[in-house]
Amino acid sequence: MENSSNFDVIIIGGSYSGLSAAMALGRSLRRVLIIDSGLPCNRRTPHSHNFITQDGKTPKEISQLAREQVEKYDTVRFQNGLAVKGAKTEYGFEVETRSGEKFNAKKIILATGVRDIMPAVAGFAECWGISVVHCPYCHGYEIRNLATGILADGDAAMHYALLVSNLTKDLVVFTNGRSNLTTDQREKLGNHNIPIVETEIDTIQQSAGYLNGIVFKDGTMAPIKALYARVPFVQHSDIPEQLGCEMTEEGLVKTTAFQQTTVSGVFACGDNTMLMRSVANAVASGNFAGAAVNKELCEELF
């Protein structure tokens, strides 16, 4: 089984969590293959924040440096391409790429991420990750004190309002239609001088991804400069499903505290496993997944 297509571990996804897992495994002298298509979900984000030692760098700068450092370990090999099939085999697992290449490994780490689903609002996708953001910890400081909106309803709107009201006092909740906010929630928002606008949104005015305002279907406009929104997502890859991994109610790959999925030998890390999406969390979960896989390999061989 010792040939060029057989590895100890295949990592599907070579962004932050995948690279982090690869470093932990490469340093443990595990033969590792990273399969990556080169399309991270935050590739349009101007700068990454709230990651100590890397604060303010572009996502590409961080990932390029990470890859350069991982490439120094001759135990790690990179394969450019999109993994499209995963299956259990006698050896362990087989992964096939879109170009038809097949690789085998004893263990798999799914660092495949998620894909955000943009709402059908003109201008939204152009602003996503730039001035329309999902995380106050990743972006809130940079848009502090601006005229800011929250595009959400119900509990999600209240969650954002709780966190964002500390960053700006010029804050409005946009429910994009009739609100589901309870009487108590409305009262609480009112007590903090946060208006609720239920008018349906027509377009988002923007220039190069920077928001100029929201135009409603009745022709009125809200001149906001930043917007928080929680959009739905799907798994970026269907390989977790192919392998039989159980999903959570939120649509994430279900893992234990050791990043183990419900399928023996399959681990997962990064955005496909957590709601708290950030570069720092992805790196941390990847590092832990690499250590957990190495420990399992050690236990099987010792």
107 against 2, higher pLDDT? 107
Given this chain, do its domains 6-116+232-301 and 124-229 carry the same CATH topology? yes
As a whole number of angstroms, the distance between CA 57 and CA 51 comes to: 10
As a whole number of angstroms, the distance between CA 245 and CA 262 comes to: 6
Domain residue limits, the chain = 6-116+232-301, 124-229
- Strand 83-88 with 93-97, pairing: antiparallel
What pLDDT score was predicted for residue 47? Answer: 75
Q: Which residues contact 211 (CB under 8 A, 6 or more apart)?
A: 123, 127, 131, 132, 204, 205, 224, 225, 226, 227
Residue 216, classed as helix, strand or coil, is strand
As a whole number of angstroms, the distance between CA 62 and CA 178 comes to: 42
Kindly report, residue by residue over 202-238, the tens digit of the pLDDT.
Answer: 999 999 999 999 999 999 999 999 999 999 999 999 9
Class of domain 6-116+232-301: alpha beta
What value does the mean pLDDT take over residues 144-148?
96
Kindly report, residue by residue over 230-286, the tens digit of the pLDDT.
Answer: 999 999 999 999 999 999 999 999 999 999 999 999 999 999 999 888 888 999 999
What is the CB neighbour count within 10 angstroms for residue 114? 21
As a whole number of angstroms, the distance between CA 218 and CA 171 comes to: 21
CATH topology of domain 124-229: FAD/NAD(P)-binding domain (3.50.50)
Side chain identity at residue 33, one-letter code: L
As a whole number of angstroms, the distance between CA 89 and CA 293 comes to: 18
Kindly report, residue by residue over 26-53, the tens digit of the pLDDT.
Answer: 999 999 999 998 766 555 667 777 787 7
